Structure 1
Amino acid sequence: MRGADATRYEVDPPIATAREPKELPRARACLHSAAMEAHRLKGQSFAMTRRLLRLCLFLALLLAPWHAAAVELRPGQGVPDLAAHLRYASDPGADLATMLNRFRTGQFGPDLDIHMLDSNYAPEAWAATELINASIADGRAPDPFAITLDIPVVSEVDLYLIREDGLTENLLTYSIFSAFDPAQHAATRLRTPIFEIAPQERVILLAHIKFGPFQSLQMALETPSELEGSTFSSGIALAAFYAFSVACLVFFVGFFLALRDWTSLFYALLYFFGLGLVAVTDGLLFRFLYPNRPDLQSAVGFFILFALSGSGFLLAGHGFGQNGAVRMARSVRALALLSALGFLASLASPGTYAAMAAYVLLGLMVVLALASGGAWRQRQGATHAISLWLAVATVLAILAVLVLTVTGWGGNAVQPALAIKLVYATLLIATITSFAAQFIMIRRQHAQAVAEKVAALEQEAKRSQELLEAEQNYSRARDLAQLRQRQLATASHDFRQPLASLRMTLDGLGDQVDPELRKRLGEAFDYMEELTGDYLSETAPDAPPPSHSGGEDEPYALSLILQTVHQMFHDEAVSRGLRLDMVESSATVTVPPIVLMRIVSNLVSNAVKYTRQGRVLIGVRRRATGPELWVCDTGPGMTAEQIETFRQEGQKGAQSEGHGLGLAVCFGLAQEHGLHLRVHSLPGRGTVFCLAAPPAA
């Protein structure tokens, strides 16, 4: 028979004799036919039997325990993911021989069925697989290999190699409660010594593991060269990660020292303990700080966990306090005290339940820190979408890692050490992005404030320049005014002698002059003498400042001023073909008469001088606030710009022959003596001046 399904039947050859009867060939033919029929029936029976055997074998394979196929090893190549070929069983009380027998009989399953919350002790399990060196047995030397295990914060590991002849080798015996042994580590992974597997040799790899807080198992079979390369690359990656993390911590401290922002200091404290948690997961604190004190492992790990949650609660409380939520801030700070109590409880009962309490506090801390951080970003300025969404995504990732760690649902799909590093680095990037954005915003605000200050200084310098120019103009105007006063005083003094001579001449004429004319000339001489006397008294070195009120004089009728001005300019108006009309009034005022005389005479003089046709009217209107003295003409009028120009001394029109003092003197006198002078003018229609005076008491 060849093959499982091949079946061969043989028939003995016929026996030949010397003499055969004639019937013998016929009988032999019948016998042969009968034999062939029997053979056919027997073949059908065997075919039916084979079908039944195949069905039974198929059912047996379905109902029998599953057996894993052996992992084939190629020459010079390892198996980077040996955990994918592992089979698991959990029986804390079983010994090595029992579990080896169970594996050989197919009682190991494909799932690691352990959970963190099963008890307050480290969950344990057995894992096994079968290896076969597929190299050709042509006399070549055995292939060297080493096993590496990545199990973060594992409690105990026993790794056995069982050969075909029953020889059992203890490749690794590791305990977290033993001193650090560099020979058992390749960077952050556990490793076995180099062992050999001969060509075509079958071995069983059996591991007994007591897990820590993470029920994740990564195992690899590596050649010596592969082990050396993976250890080197892992060391470079670790150095880069820790260098980046330390640089970020320095950034936070520098930010605090530069701006005195306590939020950055709290972030530095939070990420300091976060980096400590990563170092505990990688086993670096045990390796470099207390390698000969394994009894500190549990206490240091729980201290880092609870210190991380406590610093996060302090950060969140500070953030809520800055945003005015005082009660919320106090409640969150109280959770930091709860973290301290949790650490004290972990010293009394270190185990799974204490770790679970730390995980719950960590999850709560992450949520509160995110909430307070968002409020802090809004207080600092516009919230940056990139950093905000990055922070939200990282918080969700942290919560997912915590849930998978506590429940064990992640299995080997989640590598805790790598996940913690990614979460930590992402949080660092998100926080630094927020601080960098805040720093940029502060720089912009500072630049804007500097620019505004520079603009304010420029405006102040401009105003100072204008004040300097105004002071210089005022000094020139004051000097000019003093010169004009001296000139006016000199002129007034010079006028007094001719006026006295004219008055003497007028008095000498006696009856030769018409009485009416003599009266008018006398009033004119009186006005001129009083005017020159006032100029001399005002320009004297010890002259008191002019009074701005007219209430100290006796009341007098405004008609006196109107009549005098009318007599002074009546003849001139007639000579120019104009009518100078006056409306009598009985209103009385206490304004010094010389002031009104000077203002009204200037206004009437200008009106008569520049009015080509029509008339000039002077009169008084009674108002509730006091009498108003009006001077109206039908002259060319003025625009608002011209009025504003003529109010300044030395400014005059193109056709003016004077010195540009008339209107300026009128407005100046009115302002000095508390009077209000208004102008209403339409170009081509005429001008109206209104001088409001206070009524007599």
Structure 2
Amino acid sequence: MTDRWYQVFRRVRYALAWLIIALVSAWPPVAAETGPSCPVAALTDAVGFHVDLGDHACAHEDDSRALTLADMLAPEGAARMAPVAGGLVDFGFGASRYWVSVRLRNATDTAGTWWITHDIPAATMLRVHLVPDGGGADAAQTLLALTNRDRFGARPIPHRHLVSEIALQPDETAMLVVEYTTDQATEMPFFAETVAQFFERTQTETVQIAALTALILGMGLISTVYLYGLDGRPALAYGAYMLAGVALLVHLEGYAFQYVWPNAPGFNQAALPIIGTLLVVLGLFFVDRFTLARNHAPRLHMLVLFGMGLLLLLGVLSTVMIQLVWFKNLILLAIGLGTILQAVLAVLALRRGQSGAAFLVLGFGALAAAIIFGVVGYLTEGLFEQEYVGMALRLAFLFEAAAFSVAIALRVRAARRERDLALNEQLRLSEERLSLSEALRRAEDDRQRAANAALRSREALATAAHDIRQPLASMQLALTAGEAPQDRIASCLQYLEEIVRAGLDDNSAPLGTGEADPPSRYAQERFEAGIVLKNIEAMFGAEAARQGVALRVVGCGSHLVADPLALMRIVGNLVSNALRHAEPRRILVGCRRRPQAMSFEVHDDGQGIGQADLERLSLRGEKGTGSDGHGLGLAIVGDLADENGFQFGIASVPGRGTVARIEVPVLGRAWRPAPGETRKANSA
């Protein structure tokens, strides 16, 4: 709360305190002087008969508490009695003994019985006497004699109100004298009615009170449940606050002593200030939590904490100090200020625009008005009956429960709206994160594709470099030997050009594009198988002769549909491997016609190799012992065979040689391995 509002609150508080003090000082007390005699109250047996005895009563305040019944029945005692001002028996707060008398007459022709209500719920002592007309103290009949130590069962008529029964003969007159002391309010409702009327009235009151109390309790519990779904602590505080309010109503009406603690008269005497202070404390705690005063008005929040502590202290001290008049006034003042502070918190929440704060202001405002109404009634004697305070409190609690239900409903709806907005924002952020994740995934895919393309390009370059070596070696041998036929050199150059195109040009596009698969680069065409074999003989003949190896190439006139360059590179790698690593004496290259394929075979009688080493050497980069190659020959053969739909097999026996076989579909029907199947070497 800002300094400006804090100063306003202080001024309002001081003005209210001075107003209460002025009312207490200026209100006229009950007249104690000798005045006109009190009229006789005529009792009848009419249906619905009810008479307010306060209009017929005389009263006296005995400051010394020394007067007895005999003293009050004596002529000088009767002279002390004065008519009750305003017809309401009320002396304000005081420690005196109070005497109230009224003359009653049976105005019927038959004997009658009436019940007299003289309810002092917190009386420390109460005696009711019926004195025959003209009789003295020795002829008096004591109808009721109770103290604050008596349990509820000590009442002759077990009812929440203190009631005495009188019986009068036809036209009989008698004086009813009530003497009492109390540590709390001195107001005494005082009326007579027939027994039937008493039960009809009290039953109607009970039904009304029970219905209102049940309605308040039900609305409070429902609101508590709704609020608990929003925030647990304010909900529990509100639930406890509503229970304290119901307990206050039940106690004020006398039901608590009758049903809840009938055997605890001591607690019944102190229950009102305890429940009242606890009610305001719980209300402050609830509104402080509900309006988030700790965050929005820290100074007012500290004032609330101080007020709660002070009220709790006063409630505890009331058990031993309630008989002191100044202490009673202090408790009433603290309760009044506490209810005003509740309304102030609600007003500040309304100024902040908090959802439901307007109904919070209405609820606390109604309750504050009812409580202040009761406080003024306690502080000013004879102003109005406390029954009106009870009715005002019941209506205020009912209105407050309804207003709080609406306030809590609005707060829950606002919280749900905020939650929906938060969920939508969270969904938006999640979508953004998902989009970012998707973008990152695509970037990672692109990076992986680029890496794969780069790896594929490096492998293609390595393969091309490996295949280029053989035609270059053939040309070098031809030129070194001084024999350089033009057709042989042209054939080598053409082969080099095809290798460069297949290995370099066709693999340049994926570099940097991120494409996962290279473009198709192996064009099939129909050609004679012998062309491949002739090129092999021209390419490797000189090198074989230089090494002393008998290279025999068997011609073939059959035709097939395939990629001639790929087939040339496969057979060339097989022959090159045999010359370089097998240490053979003879190499035989030829082809065989099969039903669905043309089989190209390379036989050598070299040193051979074991099956385990053969499978290892089929992997890219794996070299044999003592080899100066790059470990690419068999890997290149296998890759080219897979890419072109050829079936490649190799078998070798250590010490006897090796047979490599390539089966090419004669009509270009590409063979592809089934999913999960790997390329296997054929047995010899």
TM-score normalised over the length of structure 1: 0.51
Secondary structure of 1:151 counterpart: coil
Instruction: Tell me if the contact between 1:89 and 1:125 (Cα under 8 Å) persists in the aligned partners.
Output: yes
Q: Any idea what SS the aligned residue of 1:229 has?
A: helix
How far apart, in 2, do the equivalents of 1:215 and 1:93 lie? Answer: 18
8 Å CA contact 2:336, 2:372 repeated in 1: yes
Name the CA distance, whole Å, in 2 between partners of 1:539 and 1:187: 113
Which residue of the partner structure matches residue 132 of structure 2?
163
From 30, 37, 46, give the equivalent of 1:67.
37
Q: Distance in 1 between matches of 2:350 and 2:180?
A: 46
What SS does the corresponding residue of 1:181 show, helix, strand or coil?
helix
Query: How does 1:106-145 map onto structure 2 within 5 Å?
Result: 107-111=81-85, 115-118=91-94, 121=95, 123-135=96-108, 137=109, 141-145=110-114
Percent of counterpart pairs with the same letter? 19
Residues 1:181 and 2:153 are matched in the alignment: yes
Rounded to whole Å, the distance in 2 between the matches of 1:109 and 1:430 is 44
1:444-455 equivalences under 5 Å are none
Q: Kindly indicate whether residue 512 of structure 2 is the aligned counterpart of residue 542 of structure 1.
A: no
Instruction: Decide whether aligned partners of structure 1 residues 153 and 222 sit closer, same or farther in structure 2, where only a CA change above 3 A counts.
Output: same
* Partner secondary structure for residue 83 of structure 2: coil
Once residues 214 and 340 of structure 2 are traced to their aligned partners in structure 1, the CA distance between those partners, rounded to angstroms, is 28
Aligned ranges 1:287-326 → 2 under 5 Å: 287-315=258-286, 317-318=288-289, 319=291, 321-326=293-298
Instruction: Report if aligned partners of 2:367, 2:393 keep a CA contact under 8 Å in 1.
Output: no
Q: What is the CA RMSD across the aligned residues, in angstroms?
A: 4.2
Per-residue CA deviation, residues 536-583 of structure 1 (Å, 9 max, x unaligned), is: 999945326699xxxxxxxxxxxxxxxxxxxxxxxxxxxxxxxxxxxx
Residue 293 of structure 2 corresponds to residue 341 of structure 1? no
Find the aligned partners of 1:159 and 1:184 in 2 and give their Cα distance.
Answer: 12
In structure 1, what residue type is equivalent to 2:163?
Answer: R
Partner of 2:201: 230
Q: CA offset at residue 142 of structure 1?
A: 0.3
**Matched residue, 1:280:** 251
Change (3 A) 1:110 1:289: closer
Measure, in 2, the Cα distance between the counterparts of 1:201 and 1:290: 40
Structure 1 residue 274: Cα displacement: 2.8
Cα shift at 1:402: 0.9
1:189 match: secondary structure: coil
Structure-2 residue corresponding to 1:370: 343
Q: Is 1:327–2:291 an aligned residue pair?
A: no
Q: C-alpha separation between the residues in 2 aligned to 1:339 and 1:398?
A: 15
The residue that corresponds to 1:264 in the other structure is 235
Structure 1's 340 and 105: CA in aligned 2 closer, same or farther, altered over 3 A?
A: closer
- Match runs of 1:546-557 below 5 Å: none
| Post-superposition offset of 1:393 | 3.9
Q: Distance in 2 between matches of 1:147 and 1:69?
A: 17
Instruction: State the alpha-carbon separation in 1 of the partners of residues 276 and 191 from structure 2.
Output: 30
Secondary structure of 1:83 counterpart: helix
In 2, distance between residues paired with 1:298 and 1:546? 94
Say which of 372, 394, 402 aligns to 1:399. Answer: 372
The corresponding residue for 1:209 is 180
For residues 198 and 379 of structure 2, what CA distance do their matches in structure 1 show?
A: 32
Task: Find 1:219's aligned residue among 182, 190, 193.
Answer: 190
Q: 1:276 to 1:164 in 2, by over 3 A?
A: same
2 CA distance for matches of 1:133 and 1:542? 129
Q: Is the 8 A contact 1:152 1:212 kept in 2?
A: no
AA of the residue aligned to 1:435: I
Equivalent position of 1:190 in the other structure: 162
Task: Rate the CA distance shift 1:69–1:539 in 2: closer, same or farther, 3 A.
Answer: farther
Cα 1:145–1:448, aligned 2, differ >3 Å: closer, same or farther?
A: same
Distance 1:320 1:543 in 2: 67
Q: Aligned partners of 2:77, 2:384: CA distance in 1, in Å?
A: 21
1 CA distance for matches of 2:201 and 2:191? 11
DSSP-derived class of the 1:171 partner: strand
Flag the 1:454–1:331 CA change in 2: closer, same or farther, 3 A.
closer
Per mean C-alpha deviation after superposition, the further-off stretch among 102-111 and 145-154 is: 102-111
Going from structure 1 to structure 2, the CA distance change for 1:248 and 1:154 (only over 3 Å counts) comes to farther
Unaligned runs of 5+ in 1: 1-62, 468-535, 548-697
Deviations 1:604-637 (A, max 9, x none): xxxxxxxxxxxxxxxxxxxxxxxxxxxxxxxxxx
Q: Which amino acid aligns with 2:281?
A: G
Q: 1:235 to 1:88 in 2, by over 3 A?
A: same
Distance in 2 (alpha carbons) for counterparts of 1:322 and 1:79: 54
Kept in 2: contact 1:157–1:172 (CA 8 A): yes
For residues 241 and 279 of structure 2, what CA distance do their matches in structure 1 show? 6
SS in 1 for 2:187: coil
Mapped to 1, the partners of 2:195 and 2:366 lie a distance apart of: 40
Alpha-carbon distance in structure 1 between the residues aligned to 2:309 and 2:194: 51
In structure 2, which of residues 213, 216, 219 is the aligned counterpart of residue 248 of structure 1? Answer: 219
Mapped partners of 2:353, 2:236: distance in 1:
16
Q: 1:425 to 1:212 in 2, by over 3 A?
A: farther
Aligned-pair CA distance for 1:375: 3.2
Aligned-pair distance for 1:97?
A: 2.6
Measured in 2, the distance between the counterparts of 1:94 and 1:66 equals 22
| One-letter identity of the residue aligned with 2:409 | A
Q: How many residues align?
A: 412
- SS at the partner of 1:99? helix
Match of 1:345, SS state, is helix
User: Could you say if the C-alpha distance between residues 349 and 446 of structure 1 is closer, same or farther in structure 2, counting changes exceeding 3 Å?
Assistant: closer
What is the CA-CA distance between 1:448 and the residue it aligns to?
Answer: 7.4
The change in CA–CA distance for 1:373 and 1:64 in structure 2 (over 3 A counts) is closer
1:157/1:539 CA distance change after superposition, 3 Å: farther
Q: Any conservation in 1 of the 2:356–2:408 contact (CA below 8 Å)?
A: no
Find out whether 1:97 has 2:70 as its counterpart.
yes
The amino acid across from 1:381 in the alignment is Q
Partner Cα distance (2:294, 2:59) in 1: 53
Q: Residue 155 of structure 1: SS of its match in structure 2?
A: strand
* AA aligned opposite 1:144: T
Judged with a 3 Å threshold, the aligned counterparts in structure 2 of structure 1 residues 228 and 291 are, in CA distance, closer, same or farther, namely same
- 1:233 deviation in Å? 1.8
Q: Aligned partners of 2:43, 2:77: CA distance in 1, in Å?
A: 20
Query: Once the two structures are superposed, what CA deviation does each residue of 1:202-250 show, in whole Å capped at 9, x if it has no partner?
Result: 2222211324433322222121211221232222223223322332342
Cα drift, residue 366 of structure 1 = 0.8
- Please state whether the residue corresponding to 1:170 is helix, strand or coil: strand
Distance 1:546 1:291 in 2: 95
Aligned counterpart in structure 1 of residue 395 of structure 2, from 422, 432, 446: 422
